Every structure is written in structure tokens, then in C-alpha cells.
Amino acid sequence: MPLQGKLESIYADVLARNAGEAEFHQAVSEVLESIGPVLERRPEFADAKIIERICEPERQIVFRVPWEDDRGEIHINRGFRVEFNSALGPYKGGLRFHPSVYLGTVKFLGFEQIFKNALTGLPIGGGKGGSDFDPKGRSDREVMRFCQAFMTELHRHIGEHTDVPAGDIGVGGREIGYLFGQYKRITNRYESGVLTGKGLTYGGAQVRREATGYGCTFFVEEMLAARGKSFEGKDVVVSGSGNVAIYTIEKVHELGGRVVACSDSTGYVRDPKGIDLELLKDIKEVRRERISTYAEAKPDADFVSGRSVWEVPCEVAMPSATQNELTADDAVTLVRNGCIAVGEGANMPTTPEGVRVFLDAGVAFGPGKAANAGGVAASALEMQQNASRDSWTFEHSEERLREIMRSIHARCSEAAEQHGMPGNYVAGANISAFTRVAEAMLSLGLV
């Protein structure tokens, strides 16, 4: 069977075996579209069925999570952990607490995590987990009881040499603390390396909170530099206003750019003078209020309800909220308005059609598996510090993060160049990451 036919057959099998999991299908399709040139050069990967094996998780864990709210009412949520691939190291990937979470979400994120982690050059495999629990509107004690119930089951499947979860949407420092406390309580071990994203007082690492936003900004900085440009004086739009968005804005401002708009699920706020970061942090990290509050405090800012932030003209776009938030129509609007670079701070935030618009227009497009790898890179650095009972300074940690993001950019750029697709970071990221994982799988035998 011709190579293209083999890939189509593999994808058809993925669709049949994973029915109804649209995000997972999208993630697999995006990788398969890029790796044809690799298989032509390395037929041993096809002979060893590396693609078929890499598309099937090594282990999928689904469990119930019963917990009691403050009124004494019992709730039953569903928990997930997909341990996708451990060829390069222990499974590594976040936990997401959000009502939309189901097995397909976790599998898509875990599949992406394999390649994202491989791009860092660090010894970590790929996995992901979470629950359909919604922490919004819940008291601290309710969140604690849920986390304890969740970890009561999860603890038997994780460990610093097996599977190391971290945070994601809905799982921040508060949740990681409760999860780690329950793990320690059940196992009677102070195993710091079993979770990352911990507080600085109990084994956490400097720059971990900032890492995804900072890392994405460093990656875009490298893409711009490759074109003889920089952030200096450029208008930037960032979607979202959570952790990733906030620290993306912070680093863009440090590098001379001006973020003129950001958003949340209710709409977006535009501030032509540049987003006031301290006000945004107060609204989102302290008061936990909607983005519309920003416009109430800033007379020069406007809040636009229920519309896409991508209608705001900019030279750099950094989608930092959630999957498939940036459509083909949004991409056309951005290109028309003069956008020259896009860095994905979220996981797969641009639809496949949107990606094609950017690539066809010659926009420098940094896919999430490369551009937002800073979070997991900092997690791996936290694991290093835990293993050596060490603690690094903020400056040293940030410099290590910057080095890793530069190396990721170089790997993507070189792989794309070598396979006849210069400047195509989507293909470069997929090719570089897939090759590293495939070589490891080949070396380890049929396991």
C-alpha cells in the first residue's frame, strides 16, 4: 500500500476505535499530515507499527469521584488519567477540572503532550488527566474534599518514576496543595516529585506559575527574530485572562510589545494604551471577577460582550484560552488586519482551517505543542530540583526556560528545513517530536 494510503488507513482505524472523540481525532490528524516525509526516510518506523502504537494509550484510567458539599449533599463526578506514552520517561501532563472534560478531551491533550514533552529535550513521557468537576462557585472546603476524593483513587497510579501530574484549567496552586496533601497522607511518603506546580513552601519551583506564558512569548520572540523583527512597538492581542494570558501579557510588555486586548468567556476588553497588568491580576487572581470589571475601572478601555477578541487589529496574536477558539474566519480577519505572527499559548486553540489560513498567508505560526511547552519544561525543572533537594533562583530558572524555548524553536525550524518546508513550524514540531519518540520506541522493543 502506498504511504499516503497507509496513513489514511491508520487514521480510519483511529476514528473507528475512538468514536465520538472529535478533539482526539483532530490532534491525530494534524500529526499524521506532517510525518509522511519522515516515514519515507525511515521505513523502519512503519514496519514496527510505531504510528499505530503511538495512537493507542499505554493505559486509560476512568474512575468515580464521590464527594460531599457544604450542605451535606453527595455528588458523583468522573475522574480520568490517560497514561499515553512513556518511551522517553515517566508520564507527564496536567490535570484539568472543568465540566466539559470527558475521555476524548483527556486523550487529545495527552496525545499532544507526548510531542510537546519530546520537543523540550527532557526525559519525560506524555499523559493527561482531569475530571468533569467544576471548581467555580465552590468553597475552599468543597474543593479540598473533592481533591481528596480524587487523589484517593489516583494515588495508586502515580509516582515520581511512573506518572507526574501537574495543573491545567481549573487546577491551580490551591488544588495542587490539596492533592499533594492527600497523596502524602495516604502513602506516608514526602515524595515531592510526584506532582509539579507546588507552592514554593513545600517543594515548588520558581517560574513554574509564569512558565507557559513566558515560554510562549520567548518562542514568538524567536519566530520574530528569524524574520528580522521583534516585539518592540508591536500591538499584541491575547485571548483569555487566566494564568497563561496574564504571564504572556507580562513578558510581552517586558519585551517592548503592547497588549491592547484580552478576554474571558463573556467577551473582551480593549485598552489602546495597553492592558494594565496589575489591575488585571487584581481582578482575575484576587477578586476572581469578570473581565468587564476592567473597563469599569479604566475610562479609556472598552468592554465588548459576546464577540471575538480576534476582531481587534494586531501584529501578533497569542491565543491563550482553550481549544478551537480561533476559527478560519478569525484567522482571515487577523491576516487582513496585518497580523504577522501567532503563538499558541493554549492547547490546539486554532482550528485546522484557521491554521491553513495562517500558513497560506505566510504568517509565522507557532503551534501549541511547541509554543506552550514552557509549562511542562518548568515542571521538568521542578522535578530536577525535587530529585536533588535543591532550589534555584527566579533568574536562573527563567534563563533555563528561555534556553529550552530557544532550543525548541531551533528543533522545529531545522526539521522543517530538512524536510523541504522552511518556516513551517507545525510540520517541524511534529516531525522533530515524532522522530525522537519513534526512535526511543524502536530502541525499547515491542512493549
* d(C-alpha 255, C-alpha 238), whole Å: 15
Is 435 marked as binding a ligand?
Answer: no
The single-letter DSSP state of residue 350 is B
Per-residue cell: 337: 488586519
Q: For residues 446 and 91, what is the distance between their CA atoms, to the nearest angstrom? A: 18
Ligand-binding annotation for 167, yes or no, is yes
C-alpha cell at 20: 465520538
Distance between CA atoms of 232 and 235, rounded to whole angstroms?
A: 9
What is the full DSSP assignment across 94-121? EEEE-TT--HHHHHHHHHHHHHHHHHTT
Q: CB under 8 Å to 254, separation ≥6 — which residues?
A: none
Dist. CA 34–CA 426, nearest whole Å: 8
Query: Was 251 annotated as part of a binding site?
Result: no
| Cell 532550543 sits on residue | 407
Residue 104 is placed in which grid cell? 476524548
379 annotated ligand-binding residue: yes
Give the active site residue among 128, 184, 251, 369.
128
Cell of 282: 487584581
Cβ-count burial of 307 within 10 angstroms (0-12 exposed, 13-18 middle, 19+ buried)? exposed
Angle CA 176–180–182, to nearest 5 = 120
| Contact yes or no for 313/235 (Cβ under 8 A) | yes
Question: 113 a known binding residue?
Answer: yes
DSSP 301: -
Q: Which three cell numbers stand for residue 43?
A: 521505513
Report the Cα–Cα distance between both ends of the chain, in Å, rounded. Answer: 26
Strand, helix or coil for residue 242: coil
Cell numbers at residue 111, please?
496525545
Is-catalytic flag, 281? Answer: no
| Cβ contact 64:76 at 8 Å | yes
Backbone angles phi, psi at 249, to 5 degrees: -60, -45
Task: For the sheet with 302-305, list strands across it.
Answer: 302-305, 267-270, 258-264, 235-238, 316-318, 341-343, 364-366
Annotated binding site for NAD(+): 212, 243
* Catalytic residue numbers, as ranges: 128
Q: Binding site: what residues are annotated?
A: 92, 113, 116, 167, 212, 243, 379
Summarize the annotated binding site for substrate as residue ranges. Answer: 92, 113, 116, 167, 379
